Structures are given as C-alpha cells and as structure tokens.
Amino acid sequence: MGKRVIDFNLLEDNDWDDEIHEECGVFGIHNQKEYDVPRLMYYALYALQHRGQESCGIAVNNDGEINGQKGIGLVPEVFSEKILDRMQGYSAIGHTRYSNGEGSSIEHCQPLIFNFKGGRIAIAHNGNLINASKIRYNLENKGAIFQTSSDVEVIANLISRNGLKCNDLEEILIKTIDVLEGAYALVILTKDRLFGIRDPWGLRPLCLGKLGNSYVLSSENCAFDTIGADFIRDVEPGEIVIIDDNTVKSIKTNNNKPHKSCIFEHIYFARPDSIIDGASIYKARLEAGRLLAIEHPVEADLVVGVPDSGITAAIGYSRESGIPYGEALIKNRYVGRTFIQPTQKLRERSVDIKLNALSEEIDGKRIIIIDDSIVRGTTSFKIVQMLKNAGAKEVHMRISSPPVLNPCYFGIDFSSKEHLIAANYSIEEIRESIQADSLGFLSVENLLKTPIGTAKENYCTGCFTGNYPMQVPVHEAT
Ligand code: SF4
C-alpha cells in the first residue's frame, strides 16, 4: 500500500476534537467534628479538578441526615460562599466528573444520593464497568428502573437489591462488588461511616490520609497536601476501607487478581505532585523524557514541552540530551471547559485559543517539542504549524508514551479505534501528516520503566498493546 497522508485542513467539525478526556476525581472525609467540612471538600475537589471539569458535587452527612449539592460546571462555578455556608455536616464525599460517554445532564452528576432498606447513602465513582449494560439488563428484567445511563446508578441498584437479603452493609457491599467487572474507585457515605473501595486490579487510584483525628480518602494525594492532610497509604486493589468514629477497618476482596494500575495516570491524568501506588508521577514523567532522549536523539537547539503534561518529560529530555529547555509555548490557564460550542472556524482555532508560541524563543531554531501522547493527531499538527509560523527552522516531535493503538474500556475516553491515528497510519505517515521534521514515540518497554520503584507487571498497557487485564467486549476490541 502506498503512503497515506492526512490533510488536517480538510477535516470537518467534530474531527477537530483531539482531547483525551479525563476521568473523574473522588474525595471523602470522616470528620471528628474538627473541621468545616464543606469548605474542606471545596478545596479538595479544587485539587482534583484536573480529573474532571464537566460537573461536580458534594454530599454531606449532618447528624445522620445526608444531603447534597451538585451541578454542571467547575468547582468554583457550582459552589459559592452562600452554598457552602448553607451546607452543614461532619462527614462528606465529593466528585469531579467528566462524562466519559455517559450523559451530561444534571441527573448524571455525582455523588448519587438514594434511600434503600438499609437507610440513606451517597456514592461517588471513578472508572468504568465493562459489564454495566449486562447488569442493568438483568436488573431491569427484575423490575428495576433507571434514571440515567451511569454506572453509579447500576451500583446503587445492586446495593438496594442486595439490601433486601441482608442487613449488614459490609456484606451488602462485598456482594455488590463481587459482580462488578472493570475499573472502579468508590467513596460511599452512610449516616455513621465512610467507605472507600478500589477494584481488584487497582486500575483507578484511591488513597487514604489523615487530617488531625479525621480520615480522608482521595483519588490522588495532591488533594491531601492542599487541605493539610498526611498521606497514609494507597487503598489496595480489591480493598474495602471502612472508617467510623473509632476505627479504620480493612476488608480484602482481591481474589488473587493481578495488580494492574492504569499507566496513563502516570503519563497524563494525574497531577505531577501526586504519588500513585508508590511511584511519583513527577519522577515517572522526568524518566519518560530521559528515556525518550536516549531512544530518539536528534540534533536541535531547544527542547520545549507542550503545557502542562509534556513539560516534565521535556525537562527530562533536556537534562539527558544536554539541549537547553525553553518555555516557548504559553498556555492560557483560564481556558477550561467551554459552555459555548465553538463554530467550525473557531474549533479549528481551538489549539490557538489554549496555546500561543513565543517567537522570541523559537525564531530560527531547531525545536524538539515533547507531548504526552498523540490521539487523533490534530493537536500535534496545529502545534507543529504554530512553531513553524513562529519561525522554527525544524520541528522534531517526541512523544513520552507509545502510539495509542486501542481504545480504553476502563474510564478513559479515547476515540474509537477508527479515530486513533496510530491504529490506522504508520509512524512515517503520521510524521508527514502532522508536518514534523521527525517523530519518535517512547517504546512500551521503556514506558514500563518509568514508574520508578514499582514492578512493571503492575500496570495496564491495554491502549498501547491490546493486552487488557481482563476480557473486554469482543465487538469493540477488534
Ligand atoms: S487501556 Fe490504557 S488508559 Fe485504559 S486503563 Fe489501560 S493503560 Fe489506562
């Protein structure tokens, strides 16, 4: 077959959407009546905003009465001083959300609060269940009704159904998660306890911390730093952590499943100041850059990172290669989730709205530009154009992860295989399409060396290798 090149200028409307959409962030606190919980939750969710920008919510337990507030928008858009003043309570859970193909209406916002035989309960979830449709179908056949297409409502229905047969919530939760397949990190609030649950593979992160005499759970420990809590440990894959006024109890339900954290947390999702399963995200990105410089060296004058997640790898590349690092792409930090859908012409400029090139730093130079990944290729094309328009003599693109060849089934909203550029074009065809002078990706082998201090077998690499930690839906895997 001859060489095929994409003309990105001819792409239409939605084809410009090249974002990797984040997943969700969860946070929980069981407070010994020491703190103003709603405000703590506000700052904790603010620290987890990078994990989801579509909607957010907080459920608070006020002396056994659980109530919540949630809405579409960023944390400061949903929670005003007035709303926080109105919220009272000593324990709480919260959620920041990206819809991940589920609906984006207010009904889909979390935490989900519901009543069942065992009382009132609130749940917030991060991840994706691969057997949610099957469970939903079975439940509907037994008379269950659903308001949304969200996984969390499926889990709520299972809890309610299991609650008919038994009164012990711990037992109900063990029975519930026993039928779940896929990725989940859950925080659950009841009138007297806070639960944290991580799926048996540990695909999505969850950690435990302490603030004074109170305990906290979070998707990432960067939220602990924000509120002054100390990190205690990661919740183990398959573990249920139960926090009440007196104890922190642990139930292990792993059933010998292998640990398989999402390696993409290290490449892109997590904040660089977080540590997941014992590996520093910052060090992993630095190492990815260092290994990339060894794997794909090139003569150049300046190494530049695509803000924000390409920057640390660019520093690593610069240190290893000895080529100076420069801040030549400036990010507009106030562009977040957009309420107003841009027209096609504006959509084509979406990268320009977010980034601008510093021609003073670029003009006449050979630039190595480091990004975390290439999904559709449109962003890479725009960035190369931007650097060339700013006077770059050569643009060499280096990617601190391998080519994305397969979809993710565990909560990361990659495009379907047909829209993944690397699944359909060779590396040389991609290089030519994005009009870079050279292009190099980090190998899977080197990627697995980047989470320093942890075992390389402990990671899911499904989107790069097609090796998923569990059987995935066949019709989508091909
Ligand atoms: S398939 Fe990729 S993005 Fe999805 S969990 Fe595995 S490593 Fe993460």
The 10s digit of each residue's pLDDT in 388-444 is: 999 999 999 999 999 999 999 998 877 678 889 999 999 999 999 999 999 999 999
CATH class, range 284-335+344-459: alpha beta
Task: State the span(s) of the chain assigned CATH 3.40.50.2020.
Answer: 284-335+344-459
Q: Prior bond to 111 cis, omega within 30?
A: yes
Q: What is the pLDDT of residues 342-379, one digit of tens each?
A: 454 555 566 777 888 999 999 999 999 999 999 888 88
**CB neighbourhood size of 445 (10 A):** 11
Q: Which residue, judged by its Cα, is nearest atom 8 of ligand 1?
A: 262
Confidence of residue 308 (pLDDT cuts 50, 70, 90): confident
Q: Which two tokens stand for residue 166?
A: 């038994």
User: Rounded to an integer, what distance in angstroms lies between the CA atom of residue 55 and that of residue 85?
Assistant: 20
Q: How far is the CA of 52 from the centre of ligand 1 (A)?
A: 17
CA of 204 to the centre of ligand 1 (A): 10
Task: Choose one of 412, 417, 444, 457 to mutate for the ligand 1 pocket test, by most ligand atoms within 8 angstroms of C-beta.
Answer: 412
Please tell me the predicted confidence (pLDDT) of residue 149.
87
What one-letter code names the amino acid at 283? K
What does the radius of gyration of the chain's CA atoms come to, in whole angstroms? 23
- Quote the pLDDT of residue 339: 41
Name the residue among 394, 216, 164, 189 with its Cα closest to residue 298. Answer: 394
Element (H, E) at 421: helix 421-424
Q: Please answer whether residues 217 and 196 qualify as being in contact, where contact means their C-beta atoms are separated by less than 8 angstroms.
A: yes
Rounded to the nearest angstrom, the distance between the alpha carbon of 287 and the centre of ligand 1 is 20
Nearest CA to ligand 1 atom 4: 408
- Enumerate the β-bridge partners of residue 239: 252
> Which pLDDT belongs to residue 220?
98
> Which residue has the CA at smallest separation from atom 5 of ligand 1?
262
List the catalytic residue out of 24, 56, 222, 408. 24
Mean pLDDT score of the chain, rounded to an integer? 90
DSSP, res 13: G
d(CA 180, CA 186): 12
- Predicted confidence at residue 335, as pLDDT, reads 61
The pocket around ligand 1, CB under 6 angstroms, is made up of 203, 262-264, 408, 410, 412, 460-463
Measured between alpha carbons, how far is 323 from 320 in angstroms, rounded to an integer?
8
- For the chain, residues classed under CATH 3.60.20.10 are 24-257
Tell me which of 184, 204, 264 to substitute to probe ligand 1's pocket, judged by most ligand atoms within 8 Å of the beta carbon.
264
Fold for the domain defined by 24-257: Glutamine Phosphoribosylpyrophosphate, subunit 1, domain 1 (3.60.20)
Evaluate the omega torsion of the peptide bond into residue 308 and state whether it is cis, within 30 degrees of 0. yes
Give me the mean pLDDT over the 93-110 stretch.
80
- Å from CA of 290 to ligand 1 middle: 23
Pick the closest to residue 465 from 444, 439, 442, 440 (CA basis).
444
pLDDT at res. 162: 94
